[in-house]
Amino acid sequence: MIRAERTRDYELARQVLTHPKIYPAISDDSSPAREDYQPIASEAVIYLAVYDAAELLGLFLFVPQSGVCVEVHTCLLPRAWGGRAAEAARAARAWIWANTPAARIVTSVPEGNRLALRFARQAGMTEYGRNPASIQRNGRLEDLILLGMSKPPQE
């Protein structure tokens, strides 16, 4: 069974975020070099580690946008890709609804990242807009697709 738990182990967060398969997907042309990256050490930012038994699958990074809206960044290690990723997303969503005042989760996906876009939609997010030419990768401006989900009344 996959579980989610908050971690304040910023070294663990750094290791996951700078994994060679993750960092290129979460960074852009203005990001520091992978070896120079340091996570944000703030109580406002939630690093939610996900585990399958004792095996670390990665983490979800939640950054507050307001008192009731958080932006999620999915950082799952390759071992979690596939079926376990959907279960990890459900565990993270349940944790956020149960442990924070969040009523909405949003994300932004570069238009060229079709796998992340499909994953966000499979996790229950719906597109609500687009931020034109708002991320630069490899010298090319891309739109960010804006997706979100609201907390169901019963959760």
The pLDDT tens digits for 70-79 are 999 999 999 9
- Could you tell me the CA-to-CA distances from 105 to 12, 71, 120 in Å, in that order? 24, 6, 11
The DSSP letter of residue 66 is: S
What is the rounded distance in angstroms from the CA atom of residue 144 to the CA atom of residue 71?
13
Mean pLDDT across the stretch 11-26? Answer: 96
How many other C-beta atoms lie within 10 A of the C-beta of residue 34? Answer: 14
The DSSP letter of residue 34 is: G
- Could you tell me the CA-to-CA distances from 138 to 18, 37, 42, 131 in Å, in that order? 18, 18, 30, 18
What is the rounded distance in angstroms from the CA atom of residue 58 to the CA atom of residue 89?
11
Q: Is the dihedral of CA 33, 59, 94, 143 positive or negative?
A: positive
What is the rounded distance in angstroms from the CA atom of residue 37 to the CA atom of residue 92?
24
**pTM for the full predicted model:** 0.93
- Give per-residue pLDDT as tens, 94-138: 999 999 999 999 999 999 999 999 999 999 999 999 999 999 999
pLDDT more than 90, % of the chain = 96
Domain boundary assignment for the chain: 2-107
- Is-contact 110 142, C-beta < 8 A? yes
Across the beta sheet with 46-52, the strand order is 2-7, 46-52, 55-64, 69-76, 104-110, 140-150, 126-137
CATH superfamily of 2-107: Gcn5-related N-acetyltransferase (GNAT) (3.40.630.30)
pLDDT of residue 155: 52
- Is-contact 109 117, C-beta < 8 A? yes
